[in-house]
Copies of this chain bind each other. A is one copy, B any other.
Amino acid sequence: MLAAWVDGAPAGAISLDDRGLHYGDGLFETIGASHGQARFLGAHLARLMHGCVALSIPAPDAARLRSEVTRAAATAQHVIVKLIVTRGAAVERGYAFSGSEVPRRIVCAYPWPEGPAGDRAPARAAMAELRCARPVLAGIKHLNRLEQVLARQEARQRDLDEVILCSDAGFVTGGSMTNVFALIDGRLVTPHAAQCLVAGVVRGQLLGVAARFGIPTGEQSLTPQAMQSADALWLTNARVGLWPVASFGTRVFAAHEWTPRLQGALHAAAVEAS
């Protein structure tokens, strides 16, 4: 970690009574930053505010969050800023919150060695064995991430870059750390936000960028079979940006001409949105 702050002050620790630790009672954003500019910061803060509403956490002041993320973004040339908002210190013991807790802001700056233009080998992916369905929390970037921890372990054990998760109903909910896009019949499709484990910021930006390129997009239920027979697959998150998929189970994908175009457009959009 390069640096960290709690409620705006440099800090290395958090009080033991924080509900973020006890229950995962909070939210986070992972934000890429280059040359002091936090990428898609407005969209990240908007999602955080949406999550605060969903969890009845009083929303922190957005201008203050923006300034604290921007300070963290300046700690190196390329930085991953992690912004955590917990419900704060427990007022009472137990799961119930009183409503008088004071939310806590934690900002951590990490090195982002590869930066936004990171040139990584296309991803080897497959469906996960692990199932994860948390309909109440769909789309929210909360602190309860054990399924993702276990899914990353599965990916490592199977020597994959990413595993794709599926709901009980058999629909794709996303990768363990990414959102999923498929090129099907000339359309760039991705699961509905309400079906996603996390409604990714880069996911939302890519839908916008593609539309500007004149590429038809769609949010729809996506099955593993549809991914298997797609013309191309991509994964997105704040760190990897747009990551083409080299293989999905037994299916192998060739490089697709849209990959560099969409990567370039995403990069341009991030600079605009900073």
Contact = CB atoms under 8 A, between A and B. Distances in A.
Nearest to A13: B13
Interface string A161-177: 00000001000000011
A51 to B, nearest CB: 11
Interface string A79-102: 010101010000001111100000
A191 interface: no
A25 B145 contact: yes
Q: Give the bracket for the number of chain A residues in contact with chain B.
A: 35 or more
Interface string A131-157: 111111100001111111111110110
Given A13-B13, A13-B15, A94-B177, 16 more contacts: A13-B16, A16-B106, A16-B108, A17-B108, A21-B86, A23-B149, A24-B144, A25-B145, A56-B153, A94-B152, A95-B145, A95-B151, A95-B176, A96-B156, A132-B134, A144-B144
23 contacts: A4-B16, A11-B16, A12-B15, A12-B16, A13-B13, A13-B16, A14-B14, A14-B16, A19-B149, A22-B143, A23-B146, A23-B149, A24-B146, A93-B110, A95-B145, A95-B148, A95-B176, A96-B152, A97-B152, A131-B135, A131-B136, A137-B147, A142-B146
Interface in A160-205: 168, 176-177
B131 A137 contact: no
Interface in A13-50: 13-25, 28
A63 interface: no
Contacts of A153: 56, 96-97
Contacts of A19: 149
Interface string A100-117: 000000101010000000
A85 to B, nearest CB: 12
Interface in A62-90: 80, 82, 84, 86
A130 interface: yes
Closest 5 CB pairs of A and B: A24-B24, A144-B144, A96-B152, A13-B13, A23-B145
Contacts of A121: none
A80 to B, nearest CB: 7
A16 B21 CA distance: 10
Given A130-B136, A133-B168, A23 B143 contact: yes
A138 to B, nearest CB: 11
Contacts of A18: 21
Contacts of A265: none
